[in-house]
Amino acid sequence: EIVVTQSPTTLSVSPGERATLSCRASQSVSSNLAWYHQKPGQAPSLLFYGASTRATGVPARFTGSGSGTEFTLTISSLQSEDFAVYYCQQYLNWPYTFGQGTKLEIK
């Protein structure tokens, strides 16, 4: 099973600043990685697939990058609606596995 590890667990950032979230896979997953975010009390929703392809409706301030074992989600200028929990998921091998999440909170 591919283990996916996210860091940090919690990230405190001020609105308008840049946030960088990391995701690491225990073995290469090439670009078979997706990002989701989950706002309080809501279901998760897709942000990126293929490591860097934005899902429909995702604002340009969000950028996904990386391949192999190291991936990054960058939010260039945080808006209030961006404070949420972010998960990455590998889909190279079954079982598909999720990281434990990074909580992005207001500083």
Partner 1 sequence: EVQLVDSGGGLVQPGGSLRLSCSASGFTFSTYAMHWVRQAPGKGLEYVSGISSKGGSTYYADSVKGRFTIFRDDSKNTLYLQMSSLRTEDTAVYYCVKAEGNNYLGNWFDPWGQGTLVTVSS
Residue type present at position 11: L
Q: Does 66 bind partner 1 (CB under 8 A)?
A: no
Comparing CA positions, the residue from 107, 105, 84 lying closest to residue 36 is 84
Which of 32, 75, 82, 83 forms a contact with partner 1 (CB under 8 A)? 32
| Radius of gyration of the chain from its Cα atoms, rounded to whole angstroms | 13
CB of 101: closest distance to partner 1 in angstroms? 5
94 binds partner 1 (CB under 8 A): yes
Q: In whole angstroms, how close is the CB of 102 to partner 1 at the nearest point? A: 10
- Integer distance in angstroms from the first to the last C-alpha of the chain? 36
- Binding residues for partner 1 (CB under 8 A): 32, 34, 36, 43-46, 49, 55, 87, 89, 91, 94-101
